[in-house]
Structure 1
Amino acid sequence: MRPNMFNNNIQRPPSTTKDKMPSQGLSNYPLLLNKAQSTPSQDIKSNYIYSSNTTFAPNTQSQQSRFIEQNTQKQNPSQFNQQLSQQSLAISQQNTQKTVTTNYSMSQSQPEQYQYKSMQNVSKGICGLRNIGNTCFMNSVLQCLLNIPAFNEHFLNGDYLKDLNSKNSSVPNEYSKLVATIRNTPNFQSIAPYGIKSAVENVMPCFRGYAQQDAQEFLVALLDGLSLGLNRVKNKSSYKEMNDNLNGRTLQDLSKEWWDYSKSRENSLVLDYFQGQLLHTIKCSICGSSSYAFDTFQDTSLAIARAFKILEDMNLERLLDKYVIEEAIDDYYCSKCKKHQKVKRKFTIWRLPHILMFHIKRFEFRRFSSDKLNHRVIFPLELDMREFVKDSLDQSVKNCQYFLCGIVNHSGTLYGGHYTADSKNPFNQKWYRYNDSDVREIDIKQQRYDTDGSSSPYILFYARKSLY
């Protein structure tokens, strides 16, 4: 598991050894329409049924009878769902031009070049996910990822297959099937995501069963599983200790050396979108020597307790300020002094990823008690990262304008709660609230996140404006 350099206090549970993860057989997605729980909307095709050849037929009584008769005489429901899932995946991989027209001239490091032109014969992906046993944590994360601009088109059109590793293909294949099934499901209906749950829990056994889990930990596990299965590196370079001194080199040189070494061990479609780089500087207050370490990150954990002592509204920018500001450490070993000294430590966001993910650490674990922190969070719909990357010399920080595109919300307490998601559809630019099977459109400006804030947001997703 890649380290999260912003997570200072709580370490995630260790994952299984990636290199020993077994390959898994692919489960199938049963298509479970859920009209009873869907929200009335002008977009609901209430007079349509979903047919196995991915076309929509008028829902007349005679046509319904013929549809049911043709598809149930020789198949039971599970067989019908299996056939439907397989056809959805095949259509998404073999008939790309029939589902989405794009200007696709994209390199590994330039996903923002992927531009949408039109969506024809395809649902906009406004689909609920059934709660299949305390899986709201999973559903809320998936709804945010499924609406990331550009990213999911690689799975819909089969582009991901060129990097697929046969031994670790389960998570990428199941995610691709999930994207295809959702895109071929009428808006405001719902499906049951058994396949992706099975794939992730085989990669991370701690997610087996139906106990409530942490959404942020599931997000990390899912991205790790996708990246492992799509790793372009077939012969991983041996581990080595990186030099933390400049020795006549510039910071740009050192950054590239660390970045290239990281890419020599793991390089995937997931990292193209989600991975950034962080500079960690330590300066001894006695001898004045400095050491530098460049580490990669995907999600940024922001601790409320460090910045706020009482229950007050908190601001995303203020929390970020706390992480890029220099701080003093009283007892740190200086390699030049050969003993522990007082030092100053500073984090610098050096490379910006295309997708920024901020994890707000609402669960505080102490020696004798633990609790949820219900501070209201104020955060913008448009985020300018210039102030937080001003010390960086990397070219990536020139493109630092982001749109908010997803929110994982948590309501309740540490010991019992519920996850939902608010997510921006990349095709119609409208916002929807996903509460398991239930989906409804919302006015994001009326939520007043940028002025009043909320005590519910747990994970925030921001996408570069150039991705839209």
Structure 2
Amino acid sequence: MVPVTIRWQGKAYNVEYDPEDSGISLKNKLSILTQVPAERQKIIVKGGQLKDDQVMKNVGLKPNATVMMMGTPGELVTNIPIPITTGAVDHGSDSDDEKYPSGLVNLGNTCYMNSTVQLLRAIPELKDAVQKSNVSSGVIGEFSSLLRSMDSANSITPVRFLQNLRLEYPQFSEMSRETGGYAQQDAEECWSFLLSSLQRSLSSEWVQKNMSGKLTSTMKCDENENEEPTVSQDTFLSLPCHISMHTNYMTQGILEGLTQKLTKRSDVLNRDAIYNKVSRISRLPKYLTVNFVRFYWKASLGQKAKILRKVKFPFELDAVEFCSPELSQKLIPVRDKLREIEKNDEEQERNTKRIKIQPSEEERESEAESRLTQIATCQSLVDPQLSEDDGANITGLYDLIGVLSHSGASASSGHYQAWIRNPDQHSEWFRFNDSRVSTVPAEKIESLDGGGEADSAYILLYQAKNIE
């Protein structure tokens, strides 16, 4: 990203642009800051006015250059489809725009919002649920409109959605003291706010059924063995992965978050005492979100600093170890049988490749019949109560389908991106760097485990494995 200063009517606006973007992208950012529609803007650059289709790297602007703009304010633009200026593919294959999902134009430190929208869009059923709700106004109404706009292969300028987000959640309107433009925001807060809005707006309770889990917590006083432990029930929309100096794997961090030491008033001792709170999952949702707790408040800096430690995360998550004994007992037989089926599938595939002889029609039919029998057996192991729980995970296993990453050293700076698994080709992932969409191999996702200021996983989205 290249920083420049735009001067208009005596005010200075600090913005950044992607050298591969076109002039209209910069104009759309300025329309948010100045309320001057793109078609009324005259941006003076070397050789005349900046043209809408002019590629920014060819304009000749140097980093931190000051540019004059003229134009009068008017009604703001809505969600505008604009042509993708690049379809660069990381592993060197051809870039046909039609095969890429829509990107979202950065409107001035809005990568946190763009990445959040792309991660939510990775949930295929959510779009139908939002549109069936018939919400036409507010942030969810604009979210529904934005999802429809993103059906094209063009990048979208999400102006109306951003306006409504800032209207309903004013904290996203915070201005930066350093740049004078809008400040960078925390993508996890944007994710939480949007999920809360979806919970309130969707009459079908879609979020509650498909993305909300349940915790059973037992709290026991460490200083008085005779005090009866208390049991409570809570719901969650994401599991925190706490990161300490000993955390190497995501599962470790989740288990740490499920065990807490608390100080609270003991009615028996008539004083404050230390309690041990142990939580276990009593319901697993179809879509499980894991939030890496990478930011903490650092008083000496006056901002949220980032924990840079490398933490490995799995492509396949076995969540049974986080569950209560009652739920684990129901899940384990199904999980083990499903893994047996998947292992047999992998062995058959390896054998076919090794011997390089295609099985006969009779052999294929026999294998298919055997597999159907195993699937039926696995389905018969599902607990009746779990089977009736619409939106619950019945296997205990998850596949990773989306990652929201952060690069940089603090929550108030850096850059967010979304990485979404291609639903048609699981070895390939889409990388959403705002309006720039490219493809990367699955091995690239493994490198998002942190260890420095480069892209590191911040929010992970898992989808329950089906019995099929």
User: TM-score over 0.5 for the alignment?
Assistant: yes
- Assess if the C-alpha contact under 8 Å between 2:431 and 2:440 holds in 1: yes
- How far apart are residue 324 of structure 1 and its match? 3.2
Using the TM superposition, name which of 415-424 and 378-387 deviates more. 415-424
- Assess if the C-alpha contact under 8 Å between 2:218 and 2:230 holds in 1: yes
- What is the 5 A alignment of 1:7-18? none
Match of 1:438 in 2: 436
- What is the 5 A alignment of 1:154-169? 154-155=129-130, 158-161=131-134, 164=135, 169=137
- Secondary structure at the aligned position of 1:279 is classed as strand
Q: Deviation per CA, 1:297-339, whole angstroms, max 9, x where unpaired?
A: 10222221xx326xxx7210111221334x554x432344544
- How far apart are residue 419 of structure 1 and its match? 0.8
- Asked if 1:277 is matched to 2:214, the reply is yes
Distance 2:457 2:307 in 1: 11
- Secondary structure at the aligned position of 1:359 is classed as strand
- How far apart are residue 28 of structure 1 and its match? 3.5
Q: Pick one of 139, 153, 159 that aligns with 2:128.
A: 153
- Secondary structure at the aligned position of 1:459 is classed as strand
- Asked if 1:407 is matched to 2:379, the reply is no
Match of 2:150 in 1: 182
Match of 2:29 in 1: none
Distance 2:280 2:326 in 1: 7
- Secondary structure at the aligned position of 1:376 is classed as coil
Distance 2:443 2:298 in 1: 36
Amino acid at match of 1:426: P
- Asked if 1:426 is matched to 2:394, the reply is no
Q: Deviation per CA, 1:352-396, whole angstroms, max 9, x where unpaired?
A: 122111111212213434521111121111111011114344845
Amino acid at match of 2:132: D
- Assess if the C-alpha contact under 8 Å between 2:432 and 2:438 holds in 1: yes
Distance 1:463 1:271 in 2: 15
- Asked if 1:33 is matched to 2:83, the reply is yes
- Assess if the C-alpha contact under 8 Å between 2:308 and 2:450 holds in 1: no
Distance 1:198 1:230 in 2: 21
- Asked if 1:363 is matched to 2:302, the reply is no
- Secondary structure at the aligned position of 2:404 is classed as strand
- Assess if the C-alpha contact under 8 Å between 1:407 and 1:458 holds in 2: yes
- Assess if the C-alpha contact under 8 Å between 2:211 and 2:288 holds in 1: yes
Distance 1:433 1:334 in 2: 51
Amino acid at match of 2:133: Y
| Compared CA separation, residues 357 and 124, structure 1 to 2 (3 A) | farther
Question: Which segments of 5 or more consecutive residues in structure 1 lack a partner in the other structure?
Answer: 1-25, 46-122, 233-267
- Secondary structure at the aligned position of 1:223 is classed as helix
Paired residue total? 313
- Asked if 1:225 is matched to 2:277, the reply is no
Amino acid at match of 2:220: K
| Compared CA separation, residues 303 and 140, structure 1 to 2 (3 A) | same
Distance 1:457 1:271 in 2: 25
Distance 2:445 2:235 in 1: 33
- Assess if the C-alpha contact under 8 Å between 2:308 and 2:451 holds in 1: no
| Compared CA separation, residues 447 and 328, structure 1 to 2 (3 A) | closer
Match of 2:228 in 1: 289
Q: Pick one of 83, 96, 99 that aligns with 1:44.
A: 96
- Secondary structure at the aligned position of 1:283 is classed as strand
Distance 1:314 1:376 in 2: 7
Distance 2:269 2:213 in 1: 32
Distance 2:414 2:206 in 1: 33
- TM-score, with length taken from structure 1: 0.61
- Assess if the C-alpha contact under 8 Å between 2:215 and 2:280 holds in 1: yes
Distance 2:448 2:457 in 1: 12
Q: Deviation per CA, 1:197-239, whole angstroms, max 9, x where unpaired?
A: 122222111112632111000111111222222246xxxxxxx
Q: Deviation per CA, 1:5-28, whole angstroms, max 9, x where unpaired?
A: xxxxxxxxxxxxxxxxxxxxx984
Distance 2:217 2:99 in 1: 42
Distance 1:363 1:452 in 2: 13
Distance 2:401 2:219 in 1: 35
- Assess if the C-alpha contact under 8 Å between 2:309 and 2:451 holds in 1: no
Q: Pick one of 113, 118, 137 that aligns with 1:138.
A: 113
| Compared CA separation, residues 376 and 399, structure 1 to 2 (3 A) | same
- Secondary structure at the aligned position of 1:200 is classed as helix
- What is the 5 A alignment of 1:119-138? 126-138=101-113
- Secondary structure at the aligned position of 2:79 is classed as coil
- Secondary structure at the aligned position of 2:80 is classed as coil
- Secondary structure at the aligned position of 2:125 is classed as coil
Q: Pick one of 150, 159, 165 that aligns with 1:194.
A: 159
Distance 1:372 1:365 in 2: 9
Q: Which has the larger radius of gyration?
A: 2
Distance 2:234 2:324 in 1: 18
- Assess if the C-alpha contact under 8 Å between 2:133 and 2:203 holds in 1: no
Relative contact order, CA 8 A, sep 6+: which one is greater? 1
- Assess if the C-alpha contact under 8 Å between 1:381 and 1:450 holds in 2: no
- Assess if the C-alpha contact under 8 Å between 2:448 and 2:457 holds in 1: no
| Compared CA separation, residues 124 and 350, structure 1 to 2 (3 A) | farther
- How far apart are residue 436 of structure 1 and its match? 0.7
- Secondary structure at the aligned position of 1:134 is classed as coil
| Compared CA separation, residues 390 and 292, structure 1 to 2 (3 A) | closer
Q: Pick one of 328, 349, 358 that aligns with 2:281.
A: 349
- How far apart are residue 37 of structure 1 and its match? 2.8
Q: Deviation per CA, 1:219-269, whole angstroms, max 9, x where unpaired?
A: 11111222222246xxxxxxxxxxxxxxxxxxxxxxxxxxxxxxxxxxx22
- TM-score, with length taken from structure 2: 0.61
- Assess if the C-alpha contact under 8 Å between 1:303 and 1:361 holds in 2: yes
- Assess if the C-alpha contact under 8 Å between 1:316 and 1:377 holds in 2: yes
Distance 1:344 1:275 in 2: 25
Question: Which segments of 5 or more consecutive residues in structure 2 lack a partner in the other structure?
Answer: 1-75, 175-181, 331-385, 387-391
| Compared CA separation, residues 160 and 125, structure 1 to 2 (3 A) | farther
- Asked if 1:315 is matched to 2:283, the reply is no
Distance 1:213 1:388 in 2: 31
| Compared CA separation, residues 352 and 449, structure 1 to 2 (3 A) | farther
| Compared CA separation, residues 342 and 419, structure 1 to 2 (3 A) | closer
- What is the 5 A alignment of 1:40-79? 42=94, 44-45=96-97
Distance 1:153 1:39 in 2: 30
